[in-house]
Amino acid sequence: MFVVQSTSAPVNEHLMELLIMIDALKRASARTINIVMPYYGYARQDRKARSREPITSKLIADLLETAGADRVITLDLHAAQIQGFFNIPIDHLVGVKILSEHFIEKNLEDVVVVSPDHGGVTRARMLADRLKAPIAIIDKRRPRPNVAEVMNIVGNVEGKTAILIDDIIDTAGTITLAANAMMENGAKEVYACCTHPVLSGPAIERIDNSKIKELAVTNSIPLSEEKQSPKSHSFR
């Protein structure tokens, strides 16, 4: 059996639905239960940043296993080491191939792929290799959750078409701040892309008011009408 369920908002409701479906299949004598989870909810809580914090992504892995899942197929985990939280097979797929094909079709010139932080360099390198482009990195400091502060840009973006890539865009603070920094440092235009468009709170307003020309996202998370933007392009 294959169960397809993203655990996006409302995350607890979707997660509980998934666990109940797994339990129902297990009790119906399903030989194998494979979970296709394009968006893995709670993935960003993968370590203890402060004392007495939970590691919720590990808890989700335990819940899926206990319910009866035999395999998990997911897309662009926030941290690749989450795969180690499972004692069952897990297939970790990436969205870079889909995103890269979109930008190849656009025939952009003088492209530079930009990672909005140090943690996304591997992802940026994968996209850059497909586009045969150089990369740049934003040295970012986050003083508190969902608040980003651009520090420095490592690499040359002057006169180039910048493509920002991230795994998740939540409140869009990081990506819009990065886009504005690109333009201030001489970029010709700025595109942005991500695998998981969480787009919570002021995200759409920030994107609409930013220097981003286009935001390309996958449909790993269903986008409601209020999360649509004239600048966004979603792959169906």
User: Which amino acid, one-letter code, is at 64?
Assistant: L
Task: Show Cβ contacts of residue 92 under 8 Å, excluding neighbours closer than 6 positions.
Answer: 74, 75, 76, 77, 80, 83
Q: Is 140 one of the catalytic residues?
A: yes
Partners of residue 90 on adjacent β-strands:
72
Alpha-carbon distance of 222 to 219, in angstroms, equals 6
Q: Which residue out of 140, 211, 213, 227 is catalytically annotated?
A: 140
Q: 12 with 57: CB under 8 angstroms?
A: no
Task: Show Cβ contacts of residue 220 under 8 Å, excluding neighbours closer than 6 positions.
Answer: 6, 8, 38, 39, 75, 76, 95, 195, 196, 197
Q: 128 with 78: CB under 8 angstroms?
A: no
Q: 74 with 60: CB under 8 angstroms?
A: no
Which among 149, 215, 150, 214 has a CA at the least distance from the CA of 185?
A: 150
Catalytically active residues are 140
